[in-house]
A and B are shown apart, each in its own frame.
Chain A
Amino acid sequence: MSRRALYQFGYRRTRDQDSAEPARHRVAVVGAGPVGLALAVDLAQRGVEVVLLDDADRIGEGSRGLCYAKRTLEILDRLGVAQACLDKGVVWKLGKVFQGEDLIYAFDLLPEPGHCMPAFVNLQQYYLEHALVERVSALPGIDLRWRNRVTGLDNRPDGVVLEVETPDGPYALRADWVVAADGARSTLRDLAGLDFVGEVFEDRFLIADVTMEIDFPPERRFWFDPPFHAGRSALLHKQPDGMWRVDLQLGPQADPEAEKRPERVIPRIEAMIGHDRFSVDWVSVYSFQCRRIARFVHGRLIFAGDAAHQVSPFGARGANSGIQDAENLAWKLARVLEGTSPASLIDSYDRERSAAADENIGHSTRSTDFIAPRSAQEVRFRDAALALARSTEFGRRMVNSGRLSLPSVYDSPLSTPDAPDDDWQGGCPPGASLPDAPVRGPDGGATWLLRLVGGEETLITFGDPGFDPPDGVRVLRVGPDVVDREGLVATRLGARPGAAILVRPDQHVAARWMRPARDAVARASRRLRGHGEVA
């Protein structure tokens, strides 16, 4: 029941393999999963050359990541691959939770119009990876090396030397910065001797990709104790190509090898969908962990994605948060390499993304507690919440079948706090990611705020600010340059005429003012670039 590789790539020998001394590069990224690929694309778009090493030469075995959240899609849009994902993917926003046969409640993830990207798109991870690989090949500056397995590491104060194993034998290369995006079983983490600790959940889950004809809407359906799988939980998600993701809780005693056999898997799925007209494309049995390394930055060696943190899949946070790691790191690394920011800017990556990892681990741990209670009393609490959910709002809010991924609001040294006499009513505080809104750009064409902002540090002003922007800060004037088509830019930013919002290159807000002055903007800009301004 293992699926064929969908995309096969070739190994190519490089000049580095003939070099007597380790060839020197600025950045090497280890691991061409979603995180390493996204990071390489982001760096290349910022003009940084990257060597990207991966031990495999194919994608498509097992679909793994499935739901990509709105913020991830916004990032992918900036990286030039969102459209491919949307074209191929299944857009959904309705989730339904059942207990037994009864619908307990339904939720709509994006009831609000006026966003370019949908709440979620479902897409087999191999399609996302493929879209990113295509983008990598279309961009100058990325040297993607398949069947290059990193086996050794020397982390020096001024750079990192990697030992790499290839079909032609080993070679070494040296990079000023190395990013380990080599997944949950990270070799680099082991080589660096870092502990990867946290909580292990004993429950096992069967995860299968099933192709079938079924007349069923594109919704996320979650069951507690369904008639077809008594006493446990089940999840059904639609994927492209007539494929469905089935996720069945098996309990802690399940034997992973036995449970993967067709004679076990097929009856379970038959019971769920009520007929036998389906084929199983991929199946796996998992237990989950929620854990992270203590620090993501070790001198010139930086960890990102699953190599740095791992969560259970409830809430779809793995790839989503890893891609956010990549966007947080790319602009900082680009600035440090360019020499326009101090190396200490990278420490803010550690601080911002490890807090985000804690948030994700917290959510995913709580969801897993709810879905897989570990004692008789935990079962009673769970059942009590489900029982109360039928008649009360607070009960529904307690039911936790996975809290879906939202971007973190960074509590960051790069942010400039609001001035005390600016009384913002809501809006988008420093540290939060900029909300999208429909606009008309300087060329008069209908577009989206996030597309206009792109990956550049931007001062969004409401009206003309009356001063020239500080160096390297691009200005978008709502009114003179940008038409706020539905008034949603102002509403979502909580901005009145005269206000200004300073946005970082990763589209998170760095500072905002009701009455901006040039020197305050310049200070906030230096601060977001890591020039350690203390207010």
Chain B
Amino acid sequence: MTPPGLDTACRLADPDAAYRLLVEAHRGLSDEDSARLNTRLVLILANQVGDPGVLREALALARQAGSAPSVHPSR
């Protein structure tokens, strides 16, 4: 059973493939169209999550991760 609350362990069998799905969905879109697509996706996923407590934790994580010093990709 999954523990209650936000699960930050990897739940994807193939994280690279999932990441790729997201990237592909946005390729070629303007920033505005991308933002709109993401917004719809957020609502769909929020509904899938269902639990407002988990949603709140996810928002907190998103906020906190965004305020951490950014990691620069190595060249």
Using a CB–CB cutoff of 8 Å, the interface residues on chain A facing chain B are 377, 380-381, 383-385, 387-388, 392, 394-395, 398
> Can you identify 22 A-B contacts, CB atoms within 8 angstroms?
A377-B35, A380-B35, A380-B36, A380-B39, A381-B39, A381-B43, A383-B39, A384-B36, A384-B39, A384-B40, A384-B42, A384-B43, A385-B43, A387-B40, A388-B40, A388-B43, A388-B44, A392-B47, A394-B43, A394-B47, A395-B43, A398-B43
Contact partners of A377 in chain B: CB under 8 A: 35, 39
Contact partners of A388 in chain B: CB under 8 A: 40, 43-44
Minimal beta-carbon separation of A193 from chain B (angstroms): 38
Contact partners of B35 in chain A: CB under 8 A: 377, 380
CA distance A383 to B40 in the complex (A): 8
CA distance A380 to B36 in the complex (A): 6
CA distance A377 to B42 in the complex (A): 12
Minimal beta-carbon separation of B59 from chain A (angstroms): 13
Please name the 8 residue pairs, one residue from A and one from B, whose CB atoms are nearest each other, closest first.
A380-B39, A384-B39, A394-B47, A384-B40, A384-B43, A380-B36, A381-B39, A380-B35
Minimal beta-carbon separation of B31 from chain A (angstroms): 11
Contact partners of B40 in chain A: CB under 8 A: 384, 387-388
Contact partners of A387 in chain B: CB under 8 A: 40
Contact partners of B39 in chain A: CB under 8 A: 377, 380-381, 383-384
Contact partners of B43 in chain A: CB under 8 A: 381, 384-385, 388, 394-395, 398
Minimal beta-carbon separation of A474 from chain B (angstroms): 43
Contact partners of B47 in chain A: CB under 8 A: 392, 394
Nearest B residue (CB) for A381: B39
Interface residues of B in 32-51 (CB under 8 A from A): 35-36, 39-40, 42-44, 47
The main secondary structure of chain B at its interface with chain A is helix
Minimal beta-carbon separation of B33 from chain A (angstroms): 11
Contact partners of A398 in chain B: CB under 8 A: 43
CA distance A221 to B36 in the complex (A): 26
Contact partners of A381 in chain B: CB under 8 A: 39, 43
Interface residues of B in 3-40 (CB under 8 A from A): 35-36, 39-40
CA distance A392 to B46 in the complex (A): 14
Minimal beta-carbon separation of B5 from chain A (angstroms): 22
CA distance A384 to B44 in the complex (A): 9
Minimal beta-carbon separation of A444 from chain B (angstroms): 51
CA distance A394 to B49 in the complex (A): 12
Contact partners of B36 in chain A: CB under 8 A: 380, 383-384
Supplied contacts A392-B47, A398-B43, 5 more A-B pairs, CB within 8 Å:
A377-B35, A377-B39, A384-B42, A388-B40, A394-B47
Minimal beta-carbon separation of B52 from chain A (angstroms): 13
Contact partners of B42 in chain A: CB under 8 A: 384
Minimal beta-carbon separation of A483 from chain B (angstroms): 44
CA distance A392 to B40 in the complex (A): 12
CA distance A335 to B23 in the complex (A): 68
Nearest B residue (CB) for A380: B39
Nearest A residue (CB) for B44: A388
Nearest A residue (CB) for B35: A380
Contact partners of A384 in chain B: CB under 8 A: 36, 39-40, 42-43
Minimal beta-carbon separation of A225 from chain B (angstroms): 15
Contact partners of A383 in chain B: CB under 8 A: 36, 39
CA distance A398 to B42 in the complex (A): 13
Residue of B35, B39, B42 with most chain A CB atoms under a 10 A cut-off: B39
CA distance A322 to B2 in the complex (A): 46
CA distance A383 to B44 in the complex (A): 13
Residue of A381, A384, A392, A395 with most chain B CB atoms under a 10 A cut-off: A384
Nearest B residue (CB) for A394: B47
Minimal beta-carbon separation of A393 from chain B (angstroms): 9
Minimal beta-carbon separation of A213 from chain B (angstroms): 42
CA distance A377 to B32 in the complex (A): 10
Minimal beta-carbon separation of A158 from chain B (angstroms): 48
CA distance A383 to B47 in the complex (A): 16
CA distance A380 to B35 in the complex (A): 8
Minimal beta-carbon separation of B19 from chain A (angstroms): 22
Minimal beta-carbon separation of B51 from chain A (angstroms): 14
CA distance A379 to B40 in the complex (A): 12
CA distance A11 to B44 in the complex (A): 61
CA distance A4 to B42 in the complex (A): 52
CA distance A392 to B43 in the complex (A): 11
CA distance A381 to B39 in the complex (A): 6
CA distance A388 to B47 in the complex (A): 11
Nearest A residue (CB) for B47: A394
Minimal beta-carbon separation of B4 from chain A (angstroms): 22
CA distance A381 to B41 in the complex (A): 10
Nearest B residue (CB) for A395: B43
Minimal beta-carbon separation of A256 from chain B (angstroms): 32
Minimal beta-carbon separation of A157 from chain B (angstroms): 45
Minimal beta-carbon separation of A237 from chain B (angstroms): 29
**Could you give, for residues 45-64 of chain B, a 1 whenever the CB lies within 8 Å of some chain A CB and a 0 otherwise?**
00100000000000000000
CA distance A384 to B43 in the complex (A): 8
Contact partners of A394 in chain B: CB under 8 A: 43, 47
CA distance A501 to B43 in the complex (A): 42
CA distance A398 to B47 in the complex (A): 10
CA distance A387 to B38 in the complex (A): 13
CA distance A394 to B40 in the complex (A): 12
CA distance A380 to B41 in the complex (A): 11
CA distance A293 to B42 in the complex (A): 36
Residue of B35, B40, B44 with most chain A CB atoms under a 10 A cut-off: B40
Nearest B residue (CB) for A385: B43
